[in-house]
């Protein structure tokens, strides 16, 4: 029995607002997942003078197509009976790309009630303040501002140790900045549910597998006049999960610094009686040694989630390796696509 009352939802779809790769042509190779797979899902605009275009009344404009960017932002919508809830999982690396892609997709940002930031890395938080402002200005009259679910342990800066020299990322938005942008900050280190128990947001993910060791050379700074500290494990990373009726758990992982296999193990411990159905997001295997990729493939085979949906930092080498052992089962995630599971 789980102590978390994660209720089943009837439907689940998500819109990929930001992702490293985009591909508007490939269709979903797995019939269990519906995806765009055609240029025809791109919003069309009206032609003002059809006679000048041989009678064509609609135009497909290139400036209605999303752009790829290093980062992740997924707008996840579930329904349960007559209720519908939308959660924004991460906000991509910069404000401009979030605004550009959300606008080009005609994303219904006013439906977003809750934002979950998976961890403090700028490729997930850089668009956050813009996302909050866009969501709040699109919220229906009288609706409460968007809630922003953050881990309390925010570093001042995150970085990478390059042969003894610290290289810093841009700072993640502060709690004050989130509030000034109009977000209602809720700080959570522990697992909980959100939006009428339709979403599960994890606490700390235990590190079980011997080969998932985080980011080599990862560092953090907690005071501007302090010293950079080793921080390969990014312990504040959290995942989001949904229980889709008749199918099972759908796990959304931001960057999998905890290890994507560790995330699945923890998710299954939280909801032990529900099978793992799909794993969506960044697996962080793009820079992994071949041996780690092979161990991950092998553990995926043992844990047997039905559908892998790698995106962001997963890397083409893992996707290639997985497709060889499970041809046609994987549905890679691309920017600008809506996926229905």
Positions that interact with Fe ion (CB under 5 A):
123, 255
Nearer to Fe ion, 123 or 231 (CB): 123
Beta carbon nearer to Fe ion, 242 or 255: 255
| Least distance between Fe ion and beta carbon 124 (Å) | 6
329 token code pair: 């089962």
Smallest distance from the beta carbon of 147 to Fe ion, in angstroms?
22
The residue of the chain with the least Cβ separation from Fe ion equals 255
CB of 123 to Fe ion, least distance (A): 4
Q: b or e along 105-144 (b: 16 or more beta carbons within 10 Å of the residue's beta carbon)?
A: bebebbbbbbbbbbbbbbbbbbbbbbbbbbbbebbeeeee
Q: How far is the CB of 71 from Fe ion (least distance, A)?
A: 6
* Structure token digits, residue 226: 């302090």
Considering beta carbons, is residue 105 or 255 the nearer one to Fe ion?
255
Closest to Fe ion by CB, 117 or 264: 117
A 10 A CB-CB count for 54 gives 6
Given the complex with Fe ion, which of 104 and 124 has the nearer CB atom? 124
Residue 254 Cβ, how far from Fe ion at the closest point, in Å? 6
Three-class HEC string of the chain: CCCCCCCEECEEEEEEEECCCCCCCCCCCCCCCECCCCHHHCCCEECCCHHHHCCCCEECCHHHCCCCCCCCEEEEEEEECCEEEEEEECCCCCHHHHHHHHHHCCCCHHHEEEEECCCCCHHHHCCHHHHHHHHHHHCCCCCCCCEEEECCCCCCEEEEEECCEEEECCCCCCHHHHHHCCCEEEECCCCEEECCCCEEECCCCCCCCCCCCCCCCEEEECCCCCCCEECCCCCCCCCEEEEECCCEEEEEECCCCCCHHHHHHHHHHHCCCCCEEEEEEECCCCCCCHHHHHHHHHHHHHHCCCEEEEECCCCHHHHHHHHHHCCCCCCCCCCCCEEEC
Q: How far is the CB of 152 from Fe ion (least distance, A)?
A: 20
- Closest to Fe ion by CB, 305 vs 311, is 311
Q: Tell me whether residue 124 or residue 266 sits nearer to Fe ion (CB atom).
A: 124
Cβ proximity to Fe ion, 123 vs 172, nearer residue:
123
- Beta carbon of residue 253, minimum distance to Fe ion (angstroms, whole number): 10
Question: Least separation, in Å, of the C-beta of 150 and Fe ion?
Answer: 16
């Amino acid at each position: 029995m789980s102590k978390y009352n994660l209720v089943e939802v009837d439907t689940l779809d998500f819109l990929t607002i930001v992702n490293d790769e985009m591909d508007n042509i490939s269709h979903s190779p797995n019939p269990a997942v519906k995806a765009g797979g055609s240029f025809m899902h791109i919003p069309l605009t009206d032609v003002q003078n059809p006679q000048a275009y041989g009678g064509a009344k609609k135009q497909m404009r290139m400036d209605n197509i999303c752009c790829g960017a290093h980062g992740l932002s997924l707008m996840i919508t579930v329904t349960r009976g007559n209720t519908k809830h939308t959660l924004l999982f991460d906000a991509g690396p910069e404000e401009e790309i979030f605004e550009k892609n959300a606008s080009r997709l005609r994303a219904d940002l006013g439906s977003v009630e809750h934002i979950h930031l998976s961890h403090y890395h700028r490729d997930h938080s850089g668009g956050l303040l813009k996302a909050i402002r866009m969501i709040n200005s699109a919220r229906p009259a009288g609706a409460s501002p968007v809630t922003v679910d953050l881990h309390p342990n925010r570093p001042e800066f995150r970085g990478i140790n390059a042969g003894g020299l610290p290289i810093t990322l841009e700072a993640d938005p502060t709690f004050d900045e989130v509030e000034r942008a109009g977000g209602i900050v809720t700080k959570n280190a522990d697992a909980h549910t959100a939006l009428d128990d339709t979403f599960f947001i994890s606490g700390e993910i235990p590190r079980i597998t011997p080969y998932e060791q985080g980011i080599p050379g990862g560092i953090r700074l907690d005071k501007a006049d302090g010293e950079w500290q080793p921080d390969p494990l990014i312990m504040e990373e959290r995942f989001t999960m949904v229980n889709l009726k008749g199918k099972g758990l759908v796990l959304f992982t931001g960057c999998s610094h905890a290890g994507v296999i560790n995330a699945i193990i923890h998710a299954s411990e939280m909801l032990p009686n529900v099978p793992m159905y799909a794993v969506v997001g960044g697996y962080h295997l793009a820079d992994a040694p071949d041996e780690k990729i092979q161990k991950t493939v092998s553990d995926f085979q043992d844990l047997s989630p039905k559908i892998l949906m790698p995106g962001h930092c997963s890397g083409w080498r893992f996707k290639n390796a997985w497709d060889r052992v499970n041809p046609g089962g994987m549905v890679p995630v691309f920017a600008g696509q809506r996926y229905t599971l």
